[in-house]
Structure 1
Amino acid sequence: MRRILPDIHDNPDIAQAYAYPEGRPWLRLNMVSSADGAAWLKGRSGGLSTPGDKRVFQVLRGLADVVMAGASTVRTEGYRPIEPRASWAGIRAGRPDVPPIAVVSRSLDLDPRHPLFTGAPSRTLVITCEAAPRERRAELAKGCDVIVAGDESVDLREGVARLHERGLGRILCEGGPLVNAQLSAAGLVDELCLTISPLLVGGDAARIQNGEAALVGLDLVQVLEEDGALFCRYVTGKEDHA
């Protein structure tokens, strides 16, 4: 892997290249897309991933305080509890061995018996709303922490604030496109990490944002490259970014 922006550097330290700014909460989206903008191949993002993307993916998880994902992404991508990795020892010093996963779901169409909700090393969080079925909330609460944010739909502003209250300021969102769009529309996104895979896909795959309209300015601050894949890091145009 090599860095081609802002300076040329072969084999950069990935953890250093994606380090969070100090002293403030930060919400980062991490997504992969084809060169023509598709967010998945045959229904899953894994078909677009490259070996370099997988390495970046794991480092970003290790750097995060919490990993957020929509329920649809959790089901489609087959999420399981995050397991400790020896390579995270340095970047997780003073924190739990693994970050918890925070699942965003209005309907709570989730299996409370799944290992993600019963045996995760760091207790899984579920962010939902008052309108969610109470029976499902109670069942999930036996094995994970349920955060109620919003009335008829999930209020992501409130949900993110509740994560901050728990000391989870470095939030990594892995999608999907609907959750990404909602976060952008709410003005909550600080950074986009986008892997551009050297593939043309076509078809009807969604973009990395697919839902509520949002116009968010981005500054390109870093580009890494490996085997034709580009790893782009953008920060949004909000004030006071590091």
Structure 2
Amino acid sequence: MDYVTLNTGAKMPILGFGVYQIPPAATEQAVSEAIAAGYRHIDTAQYYRNEAGVGRAVKASGLPRKEFFITTKVGTSGYRETKRQIDTALRNLQTDYIDLMLVHWVMSDYQGTYQALEEAYKEGKLHAIGLSNFNQRQIQGILERFDTVPAVLQNEMHIFHQQREMRAFTKEKRIQFESWAPFGEGARDIFNHPVISQIGAKYGKTAAQTILRFIIQEGVVAIPKSIRKERMAENFDIFDFELSSVDMTALRNLNEDRGLFGWNN
């Protein structure tokens, strides 16, 4: 497993396991299987309604809490509601600290939400805080108002939407970029794309493995999701090869600067 170092000094696994759209009743088993496959970075959210399943799986693993990097996200607007949600997340996850908590999206009082996260960070309940689905103007507003620089920005990023401008901005601000939808939700028949498939074949790897390898070689954290054990293992098996500079250029050239919903942030 490879790691990135956040602006807090913490080490974050560059590959995680996402639980978006996994039903609450199926989450504990899925996360347990992901842990067995080697994942130690788990990404959940209040909105997914499956934090408790993540917490149960981590607890049941019998592994020390310090071996895991747990991310969750809050969808609450404002200081007071977010303070309550932080404590709820801690209970759901059965832990006395959360490695990373993100503001999930831009809501009416996202600055009040960030204020609550910053306070919990200074108290040690959260070891890092950050943002998701924010644009540069909104991030700049956070930077100007608060002492704590976001550790992570989690936005859409995949081969067809490479977010080069945003990644340059976050790098300048010492904010780690993280990709949601690393497979582009399967758009444009990505797993059968001839360029991606041909490059993967050179290394004896699938299109999915090639996509994830490209993302992490770009220095971006990826959180693929699957409920199939064989696919979890496949996605994790990307640390035994390296794409050449020629192949990286070919994959960069597939960028269309267009997100899944037609917006660019």
**TM-score (norm: length of structure 1):** 0.40
- The higher-RCO structure (CA 8 Å, 6+ apart) is 1
More strand by share: 1
Structure with a larger share of its residues in helix? 2
